[in-house]
Structure 1
Amino acid sequence: MNVPRLFNFQFAIILLLSWFALANGVAQAQGTGSIRGRVTTTDGEPVEAVSVGVQGQTFGALTDSRGQFSIGNVPAGTYTVAVSAVGLKAAQQEVTVMAGQRATLDFRLTESAAELQEVIVQGARTNKFNRPSSEYVAKMPLKNLENPQVYATVGKELLTEQLVFTADDATRNVPGLQKMWDATGRGGDGGGFYSSRGFIVSSQLRNGVAGNVTSDIDAVNLEKLEVIKGPSGTLFGGALTSYGGLVNRVTKKPLDTFGGELTVAGGSYAFHRVSADVNLVDTNAPATQPKALAFRLNTAYTYEDSYQTRGYTGFSKNLAVAPSLQWRPSERLTVNLDAEIYKGTGTGKPMFFFYYPSAALGFDRADKAPLDYRQSYTGPGLVQDSRSTNLFGQVQYRISPAFTSTTYLTSSHSFSNGNGPYFYLIPGTGTAASDRLVRADQSTGNSRRTLFEVQQLFNGDFQLGGLRNRVVLGLDYLRIDPQINFLGGNIDTISLNANEATLRAFNGPVVAARYAAQAPGRYIVNVKSNTYSVFASDVLNLTERLTVLAALRLDYIDSKGGLFYSPVEAYTQTLLSPKFGVVFQPVKDRVALFANYQNSFTNLGVYLTPEETFPLARPERANQWEAGVKLDAAGGRLSATVSYYDIYVKDRLRNVGYNPNFAYRSIDVQDANQRSKGVDVSLVANPVRGFNVVAGFGYNDSKLETRDETVNGRRPNNASSPVVANAWLSYRQPTGALQGLGLGFGGNYASENRVQNTTTNVFTLPSYTVLNASIFYDQPKYRMSAKVDNLTDKQYWTGYTTMNPQKLRSIVGSVAYKF
């Protein structure tokens, strides 16, 4: 069978059906019109994420970040359009819709004195940390209550209050998510690593498409962070996602008003930072209308020394520049162009691997290791340079009142060059417990990784057979081109009690001299791949309270082969990935019962068997069943989700050795499965005026199924802690002489994490509770803030297969000027 030809035939048929559905939807729209408009407060601020409804009808819309809404495919006639938002007076207007024409309605909502007795007005969101909708999670504008998938959103409001400067630190507010590794900065595999639902996740997506960053990700350009839970291959593919979900960074966009903010901050470990957010607009446009041309620049420079202050102190120095331009030549056409440029220089974060079996070390817990927590065990000069550049283009065109076309074009580049020090703990001499440390380096030599993606979406919102359909049809091309050069090896072995000169002898000049005298080991990764995809999803309103979702993706993977440490053969593969969901709202717009089936996959390619054959592996697949309840109650002051999930991964490859006849290539068998099940709970609440709560809880039970009895039935060593929890409580004085003064307090808990876990070999990272606090005074023209992270100066470790000590107590203060 000719797989490419078969794929082309399938692709053509699906594309033809997609265009037929589009044409049919347009035909359905004949004899109809549309209603468009904007919702603002009396001071001209846009009101986001509120419902605009047509009385007596099932159709409606949500306002976007500019307060704009559009209701398409409205039959000709006269209607009453109503808008309501907590803390603002409800408003309604009558409108006449004519066939083939657009009716325009603008609403200016005033404060409601009655509701202000109980809630605080923050635009239209009294629950200021809650984001009740998303246009990225389902690749269409959809309320959280209408979406059968679980996701968490961390907005810039919470980051500002907590004085958080990186997207990596923002993740501490996500229920069920735990940081495993700090960003390595290495081209190709950099960026932070997290665990979600028992699987490793990294931040690979930006505005819903490719956008990898190898270093710490600065939050200066972050509008919100969306963490989507569970296998999400149907809408996002398998190359940039994990079975535990995905992390999507939504960036700041140009606004319709001139303004900005300049901020300086300083604190512990020589921390200092300066940042700017400046928005420029076309001043020729009317003040009440969206601007045709707007430009926004977010930029930040940050420096910080390591908390390991004994001996040589490491450092990190980062620059972020993020310009964005928006052009709206007409009401139907919007063009967005932006870039995200990161440049970093610094030393690696400490990372300790283990001699195997680790039982030979004489201790089985990180808190019993004979290490000095504040000692770096390195000298100067082990520095790495890293760069990441993401270029992003979006063209959105409203084809008709019911259909919109959106074209994405993104190019993502990462680069690194320099040292990557790490350590091995090994047994002591004689009968002594571990007292020796192997110091090693894995450098990258001008390593690069490029991702290029083109994605075309057609979104429709129309009536078919009297039922509302919200549809997305997508075409996607993703090219991954790595040119990664790892080099290095062991440098020396020292006693943990060595003198100062010996401790500092692991440094840049010594490592360079070693490589000049003896060529380091080299490991090349250059396997290129092209993925061609087509997908479709439909959210169908069977009634006002009952919706169903059905989605399907077809992927054709063309891997070109090359080197992944050892030779990798080329292959092609075609995959289908379905998704289903149902939502029933027993209390409309307040309570939603939901269930979903989600699927994702990993292409494993050709592998070497013990019999020295090279078959094409079956795709590794993850299937999730999930059910739960979502709440948006008490007039928007309470948002909560509780869910139970069960993920089963089939056909995992299992390493059983190495073959010297094939450059010591890994020998694998495809006989392993994994089951991961658990509970996710999230809460975002505003119980009383000025008081806000963000909290989450995650429990995960993960087990391997394999013929290897040393790990069969045991929790994988990269599945993280079984129990994690997060909480943040804050109070902001809403009135009076101290209006704008606020306090915040919270933290994170993680249970024990077995990073080595076999019948004969167990190593544990202890449970930890890390507490943080902040204080701020926020005024229209300035903001003063201070925070303490790791309030109790807790020594704790994260890692998967490793132990990585984390930063001790730090104090930072900040002053911002707004204009």
Structure 2
Amino acid sequence: MKKLLVSISILGSMTTFAQVKDSAQTKNIEEVIINTISKKDSDYSNKMPLKAIEDPQVLSSVSRVALENQAIFTVDDAYRNVTGLQKMWSATSRAGDGGSFVSLRGFVSNSSMRNGLVSPVTTSIDAINLEKLEVLKGPSGTLYGSNVASYGGLINRVTKKPFETFGGNVSLMGGSYNTYRAQADINTPLTKDNKLLFRVNTAYTNEGTFQKTDAKNSYFAFTPSITYNASDKLQFNVEYETFNTRAVGDQFFFYLSPALGVDNMKDLEAKGLNYKESYIGDDLYTTARVNNIFGQINYKINDNIKSSTNINTSSSYSDGFGPYFSVGLNTNDALTVSRFDQGTKDSRKKYFQVQQNFNFDYTFGNGMRNRTVAGFDYLKTKDRSRFIYLGVSGAEAFNNPVAANGADYSDFNGTTLGNLYANPANIGNYDIDADLNTYSGYISNVFTPVTGLNIVIGLRYENNNAKEGKTAGRVVDAYNQSAFSPKAGLVYEIVKDKFSIFGNYQNSFKSNGYYAVDEALNTLLSNPERANQFEGGFKTNLINGKINATVSYYDIKVKNSLLTSGYIGSIAIQSEAGELQSKGVELEVNAYLVKGFSLIGGISYNDTRYTKMDEANKGLLNLRPNTSGSPWLANFNASYQFLEGQLKGLGFGIGGNYANDNKILNTITDKFTLPKYFVLNANAFFDAKKFRIGVKVDNFTNEHYWTGYTTANPQKLINALGTVTYKF
């Protein structure tokens, strides 16, 4: 589905450039491809325009053209192009925490930013309005704060913007597992002077799963945007996103251990677990909605000073079922599956953000330059998560456990669960009421004392003011906690605009609030958890920008982590004694090697381990956390398109992802492993002036492979998708 979508995406991407392509020479077409495939400059990594070669941070980016060439229409599938990133958990659509999760540099992360502002999406994220996906590596608290950035990195979605000519495309696609999709990208000026511009991207997808082809999961995205250029100095932007989902969650197996007689998923399949079985009946849907509104005022005060005022709201809602599973053994040592549910009932989480930035850019004398961003940020988070689940007696009502192979699984369905939830005696509740106000001020400066040398220094002050709330019926005390987050970096371009060496220090932190220290439930206010990274490497931008490569080594140390030694009911007993270290290397290459041929690829190694533990958790000392993903990761995508001659417009590509063993249970005594995998995808397309057709086949070797976030989640088998696009 991803691959064919690629052809659809490429359709969209080349559609946007249709007028250029039709009238330009091959050289101009190549320049477009080179800029979109190889160029990694960003307006967001330092909250100012900065070339990749002069940026001391490591940024991976995936362009819209790359997605189109691979027929990708979801952000989850776009991740396959990011070096050092591993998908761990598909979106569950639960309000608040329902988005997909990935591993970056040994830490859990997710897509939480849009255009540099907080905009988490808790459903599967449609890429219909995605211009570029940016992944800023390492702790990034100085400019982005503590509430949404992972220590491993930050994922930012850069959205499509209106432009000054009429144009667009519509696409239809269909393929394996009852998948069909319709999408449109339409842009038009609304006034004759081209000051008021409008663009709308929308898509509807219906699909089954490889385990349940009649699932009828539906996804709808509607993302209009308006730009008003009031003058050469003043611009207004307004964007809206809505993602509506009605879907059955992907399959998740919890509580896996060597007690099952095996210590890995490959052997568990051999023991009787059916990779292709969904283990559910009908109608276990979750209905979810995400609404994001983004407003921006850009004002050019003079040639050296610019102002950007941003207002952003993000809200998520969910209601419905959340099936999950565990595996056991019966008295005859035969494998069984137990089926459970943790759903949501009118669950909501909202964000409101106001951010003001001032950018200063001055040049002095011969080659000296100073660029500064200074700003403040207010973020209000309101969490009203409402989880429901069945007690033991309720779960037994639909024949738990059941044989792992050949049984009737239809009794685990929406009607049965709905009837059980209708009786309050069967329901367990886990409710969260939390309000957090975050106030921040920050400054970051890029000083160029001589041509080719950039010195970066930044600092953030952040205050987290949490009101008294409740979690699972227990009062959670209010707290007010502040912290500073500094950063520094150095870049020297040994060969101007072609080869640079860099080093950085980056910092981030997190307020964990109060924690229970003993079985009497006495509490203490935790110190801010802190992460400090030192990183160094080099970057290249060779052959007129055709080869962009980054090699880096990083070392991240985290202290003041909370460790859990046990539970009293649902309350964790913890200590503030955890420390861990994550270090590793990354090599990433984006290249346009010869006419029509482009390559995206990379390899990474990560070594994350606990370096300090309390007595209750000493069995984890020097071991890799079970949320860190696979140590070794590799990705590539090679694409070729004929740019001239009788075959002009014909293109094809092949790509793949490798991950080695992933220990989702990792203690001295107990280990459980998701086996290594190598997944291959292929696509082909023909792009003409007014239309485009394409086909893709994902996982064409039909690999059985598992991802997981302390869980085991089977991934899609071989699947194909075809696309037809009309351009105007």
Contact 2:36-2:63 within 8 A present in 1 as well: no
1:688 to 594, 611, 614: 594
Provide the secondary structure at the position in 2 that maps to 1:653. strand
Structure 2 counterpart of 1:419: 321
Contact 1:782-1:816 within 8 A present in 2 as well: yes
2:351 to 436, 447, 451: 451
Structure 2 counterpart of 1:474: 375
Residue 290 of structure 2 corresponds to residue 388 of structure 1 = yes
Q: Which amino acid aligns with 2:260?
A: L
Structure 1 counterpart of 2:5: none
Measured after TM superposition, the shift of residue 347 of structure 1 is 0.7
Residue 126 of structure 2 corresponds to residue 218 of structure 1 = yes
Residue 261 of structure 2 corresponds to residue 354 of structure 1 = no
Quick one: distance in 1 between partners of 2:32 and 2:405?
A: 62
Quick one: distance in 1 between partners of 2:589 and 2:453?
A: 24
Residue 452 of structure 2 corresponds to residue 545 of structure 1 = yes
Residue 541 of structure 2 corresponds to residue 632 of structure 1 = yes
Quick one: distance in 2 between partners of 1:462 and 1:363?
A: 64
Structure 1 counterpart of 2:279: 377
Structure 1 counterpart of 2:167: 259
Gaps of 5+ in 1: 1-64, 67-86, 88-108, 286-290
Quick one: distance in 2 between partners of 1:166 and 1:498?
A: 33
Structure 2 counterpart of 1:364: 263
Residue 639 of structure 2 corresponds to residue 739 of structure 1 = no
Aligned length: 693
Quick one: distance in 1 between partners of 2:278 and 2:478?
A: 43
Q: Which amino acid aligns with 1:352?
A: F
Contact 1:354-1:426 within 8 A present in 2 as well: no
Alignment RMSD, CA only?
1.8
Structure 1 counterpart of 2:7: none
Quick one: distance in 1 between partners of 2:348 and 2:302?
A: 42
Measured after TM superposition, the shift of residue 168 of structure 1 is 0.8
Structure 2 counterpart of 1:77: none
Provide the secondary structure at the position in 1 that maps to 2:62. strand
Aligned 1:201-212 pairs, distance under 5 A: 201-212=109-120
Distance 1:695 1:265, change over 3 A: same
Provide the secondary structure at the position in 2 that maps to 1:504. coil
Bigger relative contact order, structure 1 or 2 (CA pairs below 8 A, ≥6 apart): 2
Aligned 1:6-17 pairs, distance under 5 A: none
Quick one: distance in 1 between partners of 2:200 and 2:570?
A: 50
Contact 1:127-1:685 within 8 A present in 2 as well: no
Distance 1:664 1:420, change over 3 A: closer
Residue 48 of structure 2 corresponds to residue 149 of structure 1 = no
2:580 to 674, 681, 684: 674
Contact 1:255-1:279 within 8 A present in 2 as well: yes
Contact 1:408-1:456 within 8 A present in 2 as well: yes
Structure 2 counterpart of 1:322: 223
Quick one: distance in 1 between partners of 2:710 and 2:24?
A: 56
Q: Which amino acid aligns with 1:179?
A: K
Contact 1:361-1:428 within 8 A present in 2 as well: no
Measured after TM superposition, the shift of residue 281 of structure 1 is 0.6
Contact 1:120-1:734 within 8 A present in 2 as well: no
Measured after TM superposition, the shift of residue 121 of structure 1 is 3.5
Structure 2 counterpart of 1:199: 107
Quick one: distance in 2 between partners of 1:122 and 1:259?
A: 21
Aligned 1:702-721 pairs, distance under 5 A: 702-705=608-611, 706-707=613-614, 708-721=617-630
Residue 80 of structure 2 corresponds to residue 169 of structure 1 = no
Quick one: distance in 2 between partners of 1:124 and 1:499?
A: 54
Residue 87 of structure 2 corresponds to residue 184 of structure 1 = no
Residue 37 of structure 2 corresponds to residue 138 of structure 1 = no
Q: Which amino acid aligns with 2:55?
A: N
1:436 to 316, 329, 336: 336
Provide the secondary structure at the position in 1 that maps to 2:132. strand
Structure 2 counterpart of 1:298: 201
Measured after TM superposition, the shift of residue 403 of structure 1 is 0.3
Measured after TM superposition, the shift of residue 612 of structure 1 is 4.3
Structure 1 counterpart of 2:516: 608
Quick one: distance in 2 between partners of 1:665 and 1:813?
A: 50
Provide the secondary structure at the position in 2 that maps to 1:777. strand
Quick one: distance in 2 between partners of 1:612 and 1:215?
A: 35
Contact 1:787-1:813 within 8 A present in 2 as well: yes
1:594 to 471, 495, 502: 502
Contact 1:388-1:413 within 8 A present in 2 as well: yes
Q: Which amino acid aligns with 1:634?
A: I
Quick one: distance in 2 between partners of 1:714 and 1:397?
A: 52
Provide the secondary structure at the position in 2 that maps to 1:204. strand
Residue 335 of structure 2 corresponds to residue 335 of structure 1 = no
Measured after TM superposition, the shift of residue 519 of structure 1 is 3.0
Measured after TM superposition, the shift of residue 127 of structure 1 is 5.4
Provide the secondary structure at the position in 2 that maps to 1:554. strand
Measured after TM superposition, the shift of residue 561 of structure 1 is 2.8
1:485 to 383, 386, 389: 386
Gaps of 5+ in 2: 1-15
Quick one: distance in 2 between partners of 1:561 and 1:625?
A: 37
Quick one: distance in 2 between partners of 1:590 and 1:530?
A: 44
Quick one: distance in 2 between partners of 1:297 and 1:388?
A: 17
Quick one: distance in 1 between partners of 2:126 and 2:401?
A: 36
Contact 1:371-1:496 within 8 A present in 2 as well: no
Provide the secondary structure at the position in 2 that maps to 1:667. strand
Structure 2 counterpart of 1:269: 177
Residue 145 of structure 2 corresponds to residue 237 of structure 1 = yes
Measured after TM superposition, the shift of residue 124 of structure 1 is 4.9
Contact 1:427-1:436 within 8 A present in 2 as well: yes
Measured after TM superposition, the shift of residue 122 of structure 1 is 3.5
Distance 1:452 1:138, change over 3 A: same
Measured after TM superposition, the shift of residue 664 of structure 1 is 4.6
Q: Which amino acid aligns with 2:698?
A: D
Quick one: distance in 1 between partners of 2:403 and 2:585?
A: 42
Measured after TM superposition, the shift of residue 515 of structure 1 is 2.2
Residue 672 of structure 2 corresponds to residue 763 of structure 1 = yes
Residue 312 of structure 2 corresponds to residue 410 of structure 1 = yes
Provide the secondary structure at the position in 1 that maps to 2:525. coil
Distance 1:110 1:376, change over 3 A: closer
Q: Which amino acid aligns with 2:120?
A: N
Quick one: distance in 2 between partners of 1:190 and 1:366?
A: 25
Contact 2:659-2:678 within 8 A present in 1 as well: yes
Quick one: distance in 2 between partners of 1:120 and 1:761?
A: 58
Measured after TM superposition, the shift of residue 123 of structure 1 is 4.4
Deviations 1:332-364 (A, max 9, x none): 000000100111101110000015xx1211111
Provide the secondary structure at the position in 2 that maps to 1:710. helix
Quick one: distance in 2 between partners of 1:127 and 1:472?
A: 26
Distance 1:255 1:120, change over 3 A: closer
Measured after TM superposition, the shift of residue 500 of structure 1 is 4.6
Measured after TM superposition, the shift of residue 487 of structure 1 is 0.4
Quick one: distance in 1 between partners of 2:630 and 2:219?
A: 31
Q: Which amino acid aligns with 1:350?
A: Q
Aligned 1:104-119 pairs, distance under 5 A: none
Contact 1:127-1:686 within 8 A present in 2 as well: no
Measured after TM superposition, the shift of residue 128 of structure 1 is 4.0
Q: Which amino acid aligns with 2:176?
A: S
Q: Which amino acid aligns with 2:263?
A: D
Per the normalisation by structure 2, the TM-score is 0.93
Deviations 1:109-152 (A, max 9, x none): 997xxxx7xx6733455354123311011100110011100011
Q: Which amino acid aligns with 1:252?
A: K
